[in-house]
Amino acid sequence: MTITLERVPSCGPARDELAALLPDYLRGLGADPDYPYLPLYWTEAGRFPYLIREQGRTAGFALVRQLPDSRVFEMAEFCVLPEFRGRGLGARAARALFAAHPGPWRIGVMADNAGALSFWRRVAPQAAVQPPREADGADGFWMLSLPGAPSIRASGQTAPPQDTHEVRVATPTDTPAMLAIDVLALADPARAWQITLAVEQGQCRVAVDAGRIVGYVMQDHGFFGHGFVSLIVVAAACRRQGVALRLLQAAVAACDTAKLFTSTNQSNVAAQRLMAKAGFVPSGMIENLDEGDPELVYVKFVR
Protein backbone atom coordinates (compact mmCIF):
# COMPACT_ATOMS: atom_id res chain seq x y z
CA MET A 1 0.00 0.00 0.00
CA THR A 2 1.19 3.54 -0.81
CA ILE A 3 1.75 5.92 2.06
CA THR A 4 1.88 9.70 1.74
CA LEU A 5 2.97 12.51 4.03
CA GLU A 6 0.46 15.34 4.21
CA ARG A 7 1.90 18.64 5.40
CA VAL A 8 -0.67 19.99 7.87
CA PRO A 9 -1.79 23.57 7.12
CA SER A 10 -2.27 26.20 9.81
CA CYS A 11 -6.04 25.82 9.84
CA GLY A 12 -8.69 23.37 8.75
CA PRO A 13 -9.67 19.73 9.33
CA ALA A 14 -6.13 18.33 9.07
CA ARG A 15 -4.88 20.52 11.92
CA ASP A 16 -7.90 19.58 14.03
CA GLU A 17 -7.25 15.91 13.31
CA LEU A 18 -3.60 16.19 14.34
CA ALA A 19 -4.54 18.00 17.55
CA ALA A 20 -7.08 15.25 18.34
CA LEU A 21 -4.52 12.46 17.85
CA LEU A 22 -1.87 13.92 20.15
CA PRO A 23 -3.44 13.39 23.61
CA ASP A 24 -3.85 9.59 23.31
CA TYR A 25 -0.33 9.31 21.91
CA LEU A 26 1.10 11.31 24.82
CA ARG A 27 -0.88 9.35 27.42
CA GLY A 28 0.52 6.16 25.92
CA LEU A 29 4.00 7.53 26.65
CA GLY A 30 3.02 8.43 30.20
CA ALA A 31 3.36 12.11 29.35
CA ASP A 32 1.13 15.12 29.91
CA PRO A 33 -1.57 15.06 27.19
CA ASP A 34 -1.34 18.85 26.89
CA TYR A 35 1.22 19.63 24.17
CA PRO A 36 2.17 23.33 24.34
CA TYR A 37 4.55 23.12 21.36
CA LEU A 38 1.92 22.29 18.73
CA PRO A 39 0.97 25.92 17.84
CA LEU A 40 4.66 26.66 17.21
CA TYR A 41 4.56 24.38 14.16
CA TRP A 42 2.69 27.12 12.31
CA THR A 43 4.36 30.20 13.82
CA GLU A 44 8.07 29.30 13.95
CA ALA A 45 10.35 28.61 11.00
CA GLY A 46 11.93 25.17 10.77
CA ARG A 47 8.93 23.19 12.08
CA PHE A 48 7.09 20.67 9.91
CA PRO A 49 3.83 18.93 10.98
CA TYR A 50 2.67 15.89 8.98
CA LEU A 51 -0.18 13.44 8.90
CA ILE A 52 0.75 9.98 7.62
CA ARG A 53 -1.87 8.62 5.20
CA GLU A 54 -2.36 5.17 3.72
CA GLN A 55 -4.80 5.01 0.84
CA GLY A 56 -6.46 8.15 2.18
CA ARG A 57 -6.80 6.85 5.75
CA THR A 58 -4.94 8.51 8.61
CA ALA A 59 -2.29 6.08 9.83
CA GLY A 60 -0.31 8.36 12.14
CA PHE A 61 1.55 11.64 12.37
CA ALA A 62 5.01 13.13 12.68
CA LEU A 63 6.35 16.41 14.04
CA VAL A 64 9.74 17.39 12.64
CA ARG A 65 11.79 20.41 13.58
CA GLN A 66 15.13 21.83 12.50
CA LEU A 67 17.29 22.69 15.48
CA PRO A 68 18.01 26.45 15.74
CA ASP A 69 21.21 27.61 14.03
CA SER A 70 21.83 24.07 12.80
CA ARG A 71 21.37 21.78 9.80
CA VAL A 72 20.18 19.01 12.13
CA PHE A 73 16.58 17.81 11.96
CA GLU A 74 14.87 16.29 14.98
CA MET A 75 12.04 13.77 15.02
CA ALA A 76 10.15 15.52 17.81
CA GLU A 77 7.18 13.14 17.71
CA PHE A 78 6.40 10.11 15.55
CA CYS A 79 3.32 7.92 15.84
CA VAL A 80 1.79 5.07 13.85
CA LEU A 81 -1.71 4.26 15.03
CA PRO A 82 -2.09 0.76 16.55
CA GLU A 83 -4.27 -0.64 13.77
CA PHE A 84 -1.56 0.19 11.17
CA ARG A 85 1.42 -1.29 12.99
CA GLY A 86 3.28 -4.47 12.07
CA ARG A 87 3.09 -3.97 8.29
CA GLY A 88 6.18 -1.88 7.62
CA LEU A 89 4.21 1.34 7.28
CA GLY A 90 6.18 3.10 10.01
CA ALA A 91 9.50 2.29 8.33
CA ARG A 92 8.25 3.62 5.00
CA ALA A 93 6.96 6.80 6.63
CA ALA A 94 10.26 7.34 8.45
CA ARG A 95 12.25 6.91 5.23
CA ALA A 96 9.95 9.37 3.46
CA LEU A 97 10.54 11.93 6.24
CA PHE A 98 14.31 11.48 6.00
CA ALA A 99 14.04 11.97 2.23
CA ALA A 100 11.87 15.08 2.61
CA HIS A 101 14.43 16.69 4.93
CA PRO A 102 17.91 15.62 3.80
CA GLY A 103 20.79 16.08 6.21
CA PRO A 104 21.80 14.94 9.70
CA TRP A 105 19.03 13.88 12.09
CA ARG A 106 18.57 13.43 15.82
CA ILE A 107 15.96 11.10 17.32
CA GLY A 108 15.19 10.97 21.02
CA VAL A 109 13.35 8.03 22.58
CA MET A 110 12.35 7.45 26.19
CA ALA A 111 14.80 4.84 27.48
CA ASP A 112 12.03 2.58 28.80
CA ASN A 113 10.12 2.56 25.49
CA ALA A 114 11.38 -0.81 24.23
CA GLY A 115 9.18 -0.84 21.13
CA ALA A 116 10.40 2.56 19.90
CA LEU A 117 14.02 1.68 20.65
CA SER A 118 13.76 -1.50 18.61
CA PHE A 119 12.01 0.33 15.75
CA TRP A 120 14.56 3.12 15.37
CA ARG A 121 17.54 0.80 15.76
CA ARG A 122 16.15 -1.20 12.84
CA VAL A 123 15.01 1.66 10.58
CA ALA A 124 17.65 4.34 11.10
CA PRO A 125 20.62 2.41 9.64
CA GLN A 126 18.67 2.00 6.38
CA ALA A 127 18.67 5.79 5.93
CA ALA A 128 22.03 6.77 7.41
CA VAL A 129 24.98 7.67 5.20
CA GLN A 130 27.23 6.24 7.91
CA PRO A 131 26.33 4.11 10.97
CA PRO A 132 24.06 5.99 13.40
CA ARG A 133 25.52 6.99 16.75
CA GLU A 134 23.77 6.08 19.99
CA ALA A 135 24.10 7.93 23.28
CA ASP A 136 22.31 8.29 26.59
CA GLY A 137 20.54 11.63 26.64
CA ALA A 138 19.23 13.69 29.53
CA ASP A 139 16.19 12.88 31.66
CA GLY A 140 16.02 9.19 30.76
CA PHE A 141 16.17 9.68 27.00
CA TRP A 142 18.10 7.58 24.50
CA MET A 143 19.49 9.56 21.59
CA LEU A 144 20.21 8.40 18.05
CA SER A 145 22.12 10.58 15.59
CA LEU A 146 22.11 10.05 11.81
CA PRO A 147 25.22 11.81 10.49
CA GLY A 148 25.16 13.51 7.14
CA ALA A 149 28.80 12.82 6.15
CA PRO A 150 30.46 9.98 4.18
CA SER A 151 31.50 6.96 6.20
CA ILE A 152 34.95 6.68 7.75
CA ARG A 153 37.14 3.59 7.26
CA ALA A 154 38.23 1.59 10.28
CA SER A 155 41.82 2.67 9.59
CA GLY A 156 40.79 6.21 10.33
CA GLN A 157 41.16 7.34 6.73
CA THR A 158 38.27 8.92 4.92
CA ALA A 159 36.58 6.73 2.34
CA PRO A 160 36.79 7.87 -1.29
CA PRO A 161 34.43 10.83 -1.79
CA GLN A 162 30.91 9.87 -2.81
CA ASP A 163 28.97 11.75 -5.47
CA THR A 164 26.62 13.63 -3.15
CA HIS A 165 25.14 15.75 -5.97
CA GLU A 166 23.76 13.20 -8.41
CA VAL A 167 20.94 13.65 -10.92
CA ARG A 168 19.62 10.41 -12.37
CA VAL A 169 16.53 8.90 -13.99
CA ALA A 170 13.83 8.22 -11.40
CA THR A 171 12.60 4.68 -10.79
CA PRO A 172 9.31 3.54 -9.25
CA THR A 173 11.09 2.93 -5.93
CA ASP A 174 11.82 6.70 -5.85
CA THR A 175 8.17 7.69 -6.14
CA PRO A 176 7.29 7.77 -2.38
CA ALA A 177 10.25 10.05 -1.63
CA MET A 178 9.35 12.30 -4.58
CA LEU A 179 5.75 12.63 -3.41
CA ALA A 180 6.95 13.30 0.14
CA ILE A 181 8.78 16.48 -0.91
CA ASP A 182 5.93 17.73 -3.11
CA VAL A 183 3.48 19.62 -0.89
CA LEU A 184 0.89 19.87 -3.68
CA ALA A 185 1.07 16.14 -4.44
CA LEU A 186 0.48 15.34 -0.76
CA ALA A 187 -2.85 17.12 -0.99
CA ASP A 188 -3.84 16.26 -4.58
CA PRO A 189 -4.24 12.56 -5.53
CA ALA A 190 -4.51 13.48 -9.23
CA ARG A 191 -1.11 15.19 -9.15
CA ALA A 192 0.37 12.27 -7.23
CA TRP A 193 -0.94 9.86 -9.88
CA GLN A 194 0.46 12.06 -12.68
CA ILE A 195 3.91 11.94 -11.07
CA THR A 196 3.68 8.18 -10.49
CA LEU A 197 2.78 7.59 -14.14
CA ALA A 198 5.54 9.91 -15.38
CA VAL A 199 8.11 7.97 -13.34
CA GLU A 200 6.90 4.69 -14.81
CA GLN A 201 7.28 6.18 -18.30
CA GLY A 202 10.85 7.34 -17.62
CA GLN A 203 9.94 11.05 -17.77
CA CYS A 204 11.38 12.11 -14.39
CA ARG A 205 14.86 12.70 -13.02
CA VAL A 206 15.72 13.07 -9.35
CA ALA A 207 18.42 15.11 -7.63
CA VAL A 208 20.11 13.04 -4.91
CA ASP A 209 22.26 14.55 -2.18
CA ALA A 210 23.98 12.28 0.34
CA GLY A 211 21.80 9.38 -0.80
CA ARG A 212 18.48 11.20 -0.37
CA ILE A 213 16.13 12.65 -2.97
CA VAL A 214 15.99 16.43 -2.67
CA GLY A 215 14.16 17.33 -5.88
CA TYR A 216 12.88 16.15 -9.24
CA VAL A 217 12.16 17.36 -12.75
CA MET A 218 9.49 16.07 -15.17
CA GLN A 219 9.92 16.39 -18.93
CA ASP A 220 8.54 14.86 -22.10
CA HIS A 221 8.90 15.43 -25.83
CA GLY A 222 5.30 16.06 -26.76
CA PHE A 223 5.17 19.87 -26.94
CA PHE A 224 4.52 20.34 -30.67
CA GLY A 225 7.29 17.85 -31.34
CA HIS A 226 9.72 19.49 -28.93
CA GLY A 227 10.93 18.78 -25.41
CA PHE A 228 9.03 20.37 -22.53
CA VAL A 229 9.82 20.65 -18.81
CA SER A 230 6.45 20.61 -17.04
CA LEU A 231 7.51 20.42 -13.40
CA ILE A 232 10.47 21.13 -11.12
CA VAL A 233 10.10 20.42 -7.40
CA VAL A 234 12.72 20.92 -4.68
CA ALA A 235 12.40 19.89 -1.02
CA ALA A 236 11.65 22.93 1.16
CA ALA A 237 14.82 22.51 3.21
CA CYS A 238 17.02 22.37 0.10
CA ARG A 239 15.91 25.43 -1.82
CA ARG A 240 18.33 28.23 -2.78
CA GLN A 241 21.12 25.65 -2.97
CA GLY A 242 21.28 25.19 -6.75
CA VAL A 243 19.17 22.01 -6.85
CA ALA A 244 16.63 23.41 -9.33
CA LEU A 245 19.41 24.59 -11.66
CA ARG A 246 21.03 21.14 -11.61
CA LEU A 247 17.71 19.53 -12.47
CA LEU A 248 17.05 21.95 -15.32
CA GLN A 249 20.56 21.41 -16.70
CA ALA A 250 19.98 17.65 -16.57
CA ALA A 251 16.75 18.10 -18.52
CA VAL A 252 18.65 20.06 -21.18
CA ALA A 253 21.26 17.31 -21.45
CA ALA A 254 18.54 14.67 -21.81
CA CYS A 255 16.53 16.56 -24.44
CA ASP A 256 16.24 14.69 -27.74
CA THR A 257 14.96 17.66 -29.76
CA ALA A 258 16.61 20.86 -30.99
CA LYS A 259 14.55 23.03 -28.66
CA LEU A 260 13.51 22.58 -25.03
CA PHE A 261 10.54 24.58 -23.79
CA THR A 262 9.21 25.29 -20.32
CA SER A 263 6.84 27.80 -18.73
CA THR A 264 5.97 29.53 -15.50
CA ASN A 265 3.47 32.05 -14.17
CA GLN A 266 4.21 35.74 -14.62
CA SER A 267 4.04 36.07 -10.83
CA ASN A 268 6.79 33.48 -10.27
CA VAL A 269 9.83 35.73 -10.32
CA ALA A 270 12.13 33.08 -8.79
CA ALA A 271 11.35 30.66 -11.64
CA GLN A 272 11.99 33.36 -14.23
CA ARG A 273 15.43 34.00 -12.71
CA LEU A 274 16.12 30.28 -12.83
CA MET A 275 15.25 30.17 -16.55
CA ALA A 276 17.61 33.02 -17.29
CA LYS A 277 20.44 31.42 -15.31
CA ALA A 278 19.97 28.17 -17.23
CA GLY A 279 20.14 29.96 -20.60
CA PHE A 280 16.42 29.93 -21.48
CA VAL A 281 14.97 32.93 -23.32
CA PRO A 282 11.38 34.25 -23.48
CA SER A 283 9.25 32.68 -26.23
CA GLY A 284 5.78 34.07 -25.77
CA MET A 285 2.89 34.22 -23.33
CA ILE A 286 -0.32 32.25 -22.86
CA GLU A 287 -3.38 33.98 -21.43
CA ASN A 288 -6.43 32.51 -19.68
CA LEU A 289 -4.83 29.57 -17.88
CA ASP A 290 -4.64 31.11 -14.40
CA GLU A 291 -6.96 34.07 -14.03
CA GLY A 292 -4.96 37.29 -14.00
CA ASP A 293 -1.60 35.50 -14.06
CA PRO A 294 -0.40 34.73 -17.62
CA GLU A 295 1.88 31.80 -18.35
CA LEU A 296 5.29 32.85 -19.69
CA VAL A 297 6.87 30.42 -22.16
CA TYR A 298 10.66 29.97 -22.36
CA VAL A 299 12.89 28.09 -24.79
CA LYS A 300 16.48 26.93 -24.89
CA PHE A 301 18.09 26.05 -28.22
CA VAL A 302 19.77 22.79 -27.34
CA ARG A 303 21.48 22.07 -30.67
Give the per-residue pLDDT at 149. Answer: 31
On the question of pLDDT at 33 being above 80, the answer is yes
Nearest partner of 94 among 68, 113, 66, 121, judged by Cα: 121
Q: Once rounded to an integer, what is the mean pLDDT over residues 129-151?
A: 54
Q: For the structural domain made of 3-146, what CATH number should be given?
A: 3.40.630.30
Q: What is the CATH number of domain 166-301?
A: 3.40.630.30
Residue 210 DSSP symbol: T
Q: Out of 136-140, 253-257, 261-265, which region has the weakest mean confidence (pLDDT)?
A: 136-140
pLDDT over threshold 90, residue 135:
no
Give ranges for CATH 3.40.630.30 in the chain: 3-146, 166-301
Per-residue pLDDT at 85: 87
Cα–Cα distance for residue pair 82/101, rounded to 1 Å? 26
Which of these, 251, 266, 252, lies nearest to 215 by C-alpha position? 251
Answer whether 180's CB lies under 8 Å from 97's CB: yes
Provide the pLDDT for residue 233: 95
pLDDT at residue 150, rounded to an integer = 29
pLDDT beyond 50 at 74: yes
Instruction: Give 160's pLDDT tier (boundaries 50, 70, 90).
Output: very low
Average pLDDT, the chain: 84
Question: pTM above 0.75?
Answer: no
Specify the pairing of strand 204-209 against strand 73-80: unpaired
pLDDT of residue 194: 93
> What is the pLDDT at residue 163?
38
- Does residue 146 have a pLDDT over 70? no
Whether pLDDT at 228 is above 90: yes
Task: Of 32-46, 48-62, 100-114, give the lowest mean pLDDT range.
Answer: 100-114
Share of residues in the chain with pLDDT > 90 (%):
46
Question: Which pLDDT value is given to residue 132?
Answer: 59
Mean pLDDT, range 283-301, rounded to an integer = 94
Sequence-ordered alpha helix ranges (H) in 101-222: 114-127, 175-180, 183-187, 189-200
